[in-house]
Amino acid sequence: MEVTFRRSISLVARNNGLWPTVTALTAAANSRQFSLSSLTRPPPNYPGHVPLTGIEKAALAIGSGLISLRDPRRGDLIAAFAEATATPYFIYRLRDAMLASPTGRRILRDRPRITSASLNLPYLRSLPANTVGRTYAAWLDREGVSPDTRAPVRYIDDPECAYVMQRYRECHDFYHALTGLPIVREGEVALKAFEFANTLLPMTGFSVFAAATLKPSERRRFRDIFLPWALRNGLRAKEVINVYWEEQLERDVEVLRKELGVEPPPDLREIRRREREERRRRKEAAGAAGAVAGAATGAAAPAASSSSVTGEGL
C-alpha cells in the first residue's frame, strides 16, 4: 500500500507540474536523520552539552564502565562513565557540600579553571620546596603530565553540577600531589579509593575494582597498606572539593595537609624502586651462583677424565 501511495503521489505531481518541488522536498527529508531520541531530547543547556535520554545514559554507563575496567588507560571512557553515573543523586550531593561551605560557594560563584596558564607553572616552580604550588609543579614534572588534558564535561544536564564535575576532574592532580601517589595503575587505584571515601562519586568506587588487574604483590600491598590508608583518610578528611587551590599555592603543604586531615601514605615510588633493586640483586646473585656452579662442573669434568685414563693405563 505504501508503494502504491508513493506512486500515486508521483503521478499526481507529474500531471500537475509539481515533480521538481516534490523531488526537492524528498531529498531534503532524506538528508535528515529522524529518530525518537531526536524528537524527545531537549536542547543543550551549555556549550558542549550533549543531552541524553535515560536509556542512552544507562547504555553509556554500562559500555564505558566495562571497557574502562579492562583498560584503565581509556581516560575518555572513564570520564563518560563518571558523568553517566553521577546523576541523579551523587553530583547533587557534592554540589550541596560546596554550597554548605563558604569557600565552596565562592568556587561555585567564581568558577575558576585549572590550566597551566591560569596557574602560571613557571612561577610555581620558583616557589620554595615546601609550598603547595612547588609540590604540585614538581609532581607534574616528575610524572610527565599536564593540567591541560582534562576532558570537558558533556553529559551532565545541570550547568552548575557540570561545573562541579569539571572542578573535581581538574583538581585530581592536586590530590595526587597532596598524597604523593604516582600515576602508575597502583597509585591511581589507591587515589580513587581515597576519592570515593571523600566524594562518594560512583566512578571512583567502581575504579577500585581495577585492583583485580594488579600483580599479586601489588594487590597484597593495596589490600594491606593503601586501601586502609585511603578509607581512613578519605572518611576523616574535609571535603577536598572545597579547597580553593588557587589561593593555597604559596602555603606550606604540611600545614594544609593537617588542616584537611590528610596524612600522606608510604612513598609508593620508593617502595617500587626498592622492590626493583631487590629483584635485580636476586637475579644477579642467581646468575653468579649459576656461573660458579658451571665453573665447578667444568673443572670437575677434566679431573674425572684424567682419572679414567690413568686407570686404563694401569
Each domain of the chain, given as residue ranges in start order, spans 54-271
pLDDT per residue rounded down to tens, the chain (314 residues): 433 434 443 433 444 444 443 344 334 334 444 444 445 678 899 999 999 988 999 999 999 888 877 776 677 888 999 999 998 899 999 999 999 999 999 999 999 999 999 999 999 999 999 999 999 999 999 999 999 989 999 999 999 999 999 999 999 999 999 999 999 999 999 999 999 999 999 999 998 998 998 999 999 999 999 999 999 999 999 999 999 999 999 999 999 999 999 999 999 999 999 988 988 888 888 877 777 777 767 665 555 555 544 444 43
Q: What angle do CA 259, 265, 267 make, to 5 degrees?
A: 130
Pick from 95, 59, 108: nearest CA to 80? 59
Joined grid coordinates for residue 96: 550541596
* 173 annotated ligand-binding residue: yes
Q: At what angle do helices 227-236 and 185-199 cross, to 10 degrees?
A: 30
* β-bridge partners, 252: 131
* 49 annotated ligand-binding residue: no
Rounded to the nearest 10°, the torsion over CA 109, 110, 115, 118 is: -170
Q: What's the predicted TM-score (pTM) here? A: 0.77
* 172 annotated ligand-binding residue: yes
Cis ω before 88 (30° cut-off from 0): yes
